[in-house]
Amino acid sequence: MRVARLGMPLPGGLIVSCQAPDGHPLRDPEVIARLAECAVRGGAVGLRVNSAVDVAAVRRRTDVPVIGLHKVPHGHRHAITPTLDLAAELAEAGADVIAVDLTEETPGPGLKLIEPIHAMGPAVMADVSTIDEGLAAWAAGADVVGTTLSGYTARQLPTPDEPDLRLVAALAERGVRVIAEGRYRTERHVRQAFAAGAWAVVVGGAITDPIAITRRLAAATLR
């Protein structure tokens, strides 16, 4: 069966995730938009943004492609854009790409979301946790596959500290366009991801979360 796949609106390179959960000091759409503007000035080729309101705010301040998503509480974690209604809100807000949770443990239409999202205009990023999920998403027409959820599904806990470079390499070797995401914190991690075949790399908290950055450095002072 021939699958429809869009040309990617995102170039390869560094994508910065600009997000802040409820209760975080940075939880404000305008603050998120300013973080996004900083990321673009620093060389980010794209942005990953949670919720339609934040996508709209980021869109007003930046002109690089935006991956939009909407997190929904699900068990021990958040599911990513599990319904078409949420995807439609992101598209209306200006998302160029919509990230969708296509792990086996996530409820909802799953792979059936890809075609109707394409019909709305945006490309689809499949957030997966395993090689089988990634290959299934790619075969179904996802425009890019992200390793975003590797280490976060129930059967993969506890979450490892290092990024899953093996999954990046395994997908790339099979001709999948891969975005490496999940626990990428250093220049070495980014270089390793591209060496493994990644088309782009998402870095989040290591750039945009001062609490996480400070906590990591403060831990180094403990003796």
Q: Is the pLDDT of residue 174 over 60?
A: yes
- Enumerate domains of the chain plus CATH numbers: 13-219 (3.20.20.70)
Q: What pTM, to 2 d.p., does this model score?
A: 0.95
Please state, in angstroms and as integers, the Cα–Cα distance from residue 221 to each residue in 15, 210, 215, following that order. Answer: 30, 17, 10
Confidence of residue 180 (pLDDT cuts 50, 70, 90): very high
**3-class SS at 98?**
strand
Task: Determine the pLDDT at residue 11.
Answer: 83
pLDDT bin (cut points 50, 70, 90) of residue 1 is very low
Q: Tens of pLDDT along 120-172?
A: 999 999 999 999 999 999 999 999 999 999 999 999 999 999 999 999 999 99
pLDDT of residue 88 exceeding 50, the answer is: yes
As a whole-number percent, the residues of the chain with pLDDT over 70 amount to 97
Whether 114 contacts 139, CB under 8 Å: no
Residue 48 has what DSSP assignment?
Answer: E
pLDDT score, position 2: 41
